[in-house]
C-alpha cells in the first residue's frame, strides 16, 4: 500500500517553510483516504477545495479513475 500511496501524491514544489507540497485529486468516495494520507505524510491539517465543474471533467481520482470532486493538499 505504501508504494501506491507514494505514487498518488503529486509533488508541487517547496513552500515558503521548505516543506514539500503535495496535492491529491479524489472523488467523494476517497476523500477521507486523501485527508488521512496528507495528515500522515505531513503532520499538518490538510486543505481541501471543491473542484469547479470544468476541473472535474478533466481530473480523475487518484484511487479509482472516477471524476475527481476534491483537491486535497498540505
End-to-end CA distance of the chain: 20
Q: Provide the residue range defining the domain that includes 58.
A: 2-11+19-73
Say which residues have a Cβ less than 8 Å from residue 16's Cβ, sequence separation at least 6. Answer: none
> How many structural domains comprise the chain?
1
Say which residues have a Cβ less than 8 Å from residue 53's Cβ, sequence separation at least 6. Answer: none
Say which residues have a Cβ less than 8 Å from residue 59's Cβ, sequence separation at least 6. Answer: 25, 51, 67, 68, 71
Supply the pTM of this predicted model. Answer: 0.72
Q: Tens of pLDDT along 11-69? A: 455 444 555 779 999 999 999 999 999 999 999 999 999 999 999 999 999 999 899 99
Amino acid at each position: 500500500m505504501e508504494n501506491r500511496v507514494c505514487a498518488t501524491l503529486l509533488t508541487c514544489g517547496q513552500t515558503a517553510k521548505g516543506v514539500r507540497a503535495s496535492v491529491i485529486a479524489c472523488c467523494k468516495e476517497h476523500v477521507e483516504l486523501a485527508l488521512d494520507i496528507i495528515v500522515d505524510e505531513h503532520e499538518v491539517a490538510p486543505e481541501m477545495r471543491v473542484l469547479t465543474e470544468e476541473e472535474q471533467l478533466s481530473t480523475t481520482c487518484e484511487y479509482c479513475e472516477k471524476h475527481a470532486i476534491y483537491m486535497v493538499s498540505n
